[in-house]
Amino acid sequence: MSAIPQNVFATQKATLDNLLAVQGAFFNGFEKLVDLNLKVMKATLDEAAQKSQVAIEVKDAQEAAAFTSSLVQPSAEKTLAYSKHVYDIFSSLHGDLSRLTETQIEQTQAQVSDAIEQFAKTAPTGSESAVALMKSTVASVNNAYESLSKAAKQATQTAESNLTAAANATFQAATSAAEAAAKPASRSRRAA
């Protein structure tokens, strides 16, 4: 069997393997997201049952104010934690897909280089400049891809850093708001 059909079969196998890996990565991310949502739903239902019992036992306006203010901070913390988990799942999926894409591109680059080398071996005399042009073109494309890849990675890191900073600021604001809401309730209890 000649080298070209073997290369074609190898390319088809690599493409199929990559497709299956991408499907697996998407399914794994979906599975993690469903698992997270089920856990959140269960915890929310359990907490709602507990809070309902506490709400039933509230006897006056001061206790109602204290109960209401006690609900604010945990909800903000839980929302922030949930958002962080969802972000982590999508970030992990993005990383997996990026690695798979990089692997596929590396394989394709190697196959193109091999094809050019095979062509150069069997090319008629006088086609050296065409082979050199093909090699130069492939090298330029590879360099452009590497530059774009580095820029995309830097942009992703910057976005992740900004998202983390925003999440921390949101958490601090929610904590401050909960503490501010709790102060009037505790003052009214001391006055009574």
Instruction: Write out the residue range of the structural domain in which residue 28 sits.
Output: 3-191
The answer to whether 66 and 165 are in contact (CB under 8 A) is: no
For residue 94, what are the contacts with CB-CB under 8 A and spacing of at least 6?
156
* Total domains in the fold of the chain: 1
CA-wise closest residue to 122 among 8, 6, 2, 1: 2
Q: What is the pLDDT of residue 1?
A: 46
**DSSP of 49-78, one letter per residue?**
HHHHHHHHT--SHHHHHHHHHHHHHHHHHH
pLDDT tens, position by position, for the chain (192 residues)?
455 677 778 778 888 898 899 999 999 999 999 999 999 999 989 988 988 888 888 888 888 887 877 776 677 778 888 988 998 899 899 889 988 888 888 888 888 888 888 888 887 888 888 888 888 888 888 888 888 888 888 887 887 788 778 777 777 776 776 667 666 545 554 555
The answer to whether 76 and 182 are in contact (CB under 8 A) is: no
CA-wise closest residue to 96 among 33, 13, 37, 18: 18
